[in-house]
Structure 1
């Protein structure tokens, strides 16, 4: 019988005998490296030949009321989502168990934080899309790349939220920490664990493919600005705009505002000819 979290079943271990097809090899053994190549080379090309386009193309000038709410929701939410993916994909189960975090506690924490971050990010991007569609100047500044980016990004978010919910309520879902996570880590040592990813449930595979599509279009959309986030602003020194200077002497006559006359060789400061 599977373990439970508040009465809900956890993911089950992957099956032992997994049949790997040619399609699995192409999807989980070849496609990730194609996406990485497009991401790296596309970013280098964009930086060298389109530096003026390496920007978010901010539209705050056209509309700020909705943006003031939607932008923080989306950006802080997506940061939490990224941190959650890093923890879930890069940190093995043995490490969390080694520091005393049980499997049930890990899933409960991942579920609560993941749903909150996912919903916050989803609300933020929906508001951004609504603002872009209903604000005339913002919509006119929307490019085809922007529309494609919003579709893929929204699809990845919806697939992630659906995967999280399905993994909790469906006891037939395989454990992603034994399938998707080992496959993801194996990519970076150039030994892709195709068997592990093949054993993953369909919801995880769909979410992974949406994620790969998002990274494939990343260099050619406004998302590329994330690679040059101004993190140095957090550590830069204060900027002095005006020096304090000398303090005025008590009782002294204040300086007269305006331009001070400097005089000329043949005239004094009052404009009269010199004697």
Structure 2
């Protein structure tokens, strides 16, 4: 019963919250869509932390898409055997995971320890930072420690199959029964942040200034005093 809730009901609740929450907020609460900037309060730690985070998180995101979305048989057909994939996932993925973790540590410490930044932050801002930090910690631990200790575990034969079946509405929770605890917690907290996404500052990720694409310059006019 617990497994049915954790690996069937809970993920769908989070995905439904993600979709419905974004639609509702976009229609009724667009003025709070972007994040409040604290750059004018403290810049150095923000720039370094943000740079490390974004350098790491983009390859990590692509790695998750490849690992969860592409069956291992497809990888073999394009010449990526299991050993080569394992090296890439553990060493390259681990490197970018550590960069993401260092950046998130700096950003979270800045938000919590800098009094002026903390006063500007809402409770949901701090909660999101802490939750993201925990998710990244579990991801790095799973990649560098769990994969090293449990050589016989292959998430592409368990988590990945369950996840792809989840997306086509045919989930089989039995795939998750043998998954190590660190991977399970990483997945559950990942779905939790997806479910909370529309109600937090994370929505600013979608605020891409597309209207400025293609502009070669911005014209500023100076008013003459008469």
Per the normalisation by structure 1, the TM-score is 0.75
The equivalent position to 1:41 in structure 2, one of 5, 11, 20, is 20
User: 2: distance between equivalents of 1:92 and 1:117?
Assistant: 22
User: 1: distance between equivalents of 2:142 and 2:43?
Assistant: 33
Moved more, 70-79 or 99-108: 70-79
User: 2: distance between equivalents of 1:150 and 1:231?
Assistant: 27
> Equivalent residue for 1:167?
146
| Residues 6-85 of structure 1 aligned to structure 2 (within 5 Å) | 22-85=1-64
State the Cα distance separating 1:222 from its structure 2 match.
0.8
User: 2: distance between equivalents of 1:221 and 1:240?
Assistant: 32
> Equivalent residue for 1:111?
90
User: 2: distance between equivalents of 1:173 and 1:144?
Assistant: 41
> Equivalent residue for 1:155?
134
State the Cα distance separating 1:60 from its structure 2 match.
0.7
> Equivalent residue for 1:236?
214
> Equivalent residue for 1:17?
none
State the Cα distance separating 1:198 from its structure 2 match.
2.2
The equivalent position to 1:202 in structure 2, one of 176, 181, 189, is 181
SS of the aligned residue for 1:35 comes to helix
Over the residues paired in the alignment, what is the CA RMSD in angstroms?
Answer: 2.0
SS of the aligned residue for 2:44 comes to coil
Moved more, 177-186 or 121-130: 121-130
> Equivalent residue for 2:203?
224
The equivalent position to 1:138 in structure 2, one of 96, 101, 117, is 117
Query: Are the counterparts in 1 of residues 94 and 140 from structure 2 also a CA contact under 8 Å?
Result: yes
Unaligned runs of 5+ in 2: none
Q: Which has the higher helix share?
A: 2
SS of the aligned residue for 1:241 comes to coil
Work out which of the two has the higher radius of gyration on C-alpha atoms and give 1 or 2: 1
Distance change >3 Å, CA 135–CA 200, structure 1 → 2: closer
Tell me which stretches of 4 or more aligned residues in structure 1 moved more than 4 Å: none
Query: Are the counterparts in 1 of residues 112 and 126 from structure 2 also a CA contact under 8 Å?
Result: no
SS of the aligned residue for 1:192 comes to coil
> Equivalent residue for 2:68?
89
State the Cα distance separating 1:37 from its structure 2 match.
0.6
Unaligned runs of 5+ in 1: 1-21, 243-257, 260-275
User: 2: distance between equivalents of 1:212 and 1:54?
Assistant: 21
State the Cα distance separating 1:231 from its structure 2 match.
6.0
Does residue 1:190 correspond to 2:154, yes or no?
no
Query: Are the counterparts in 2 of residues 70 and 125 from structure 1 also a CA contact under 8 Å?
Result: yes
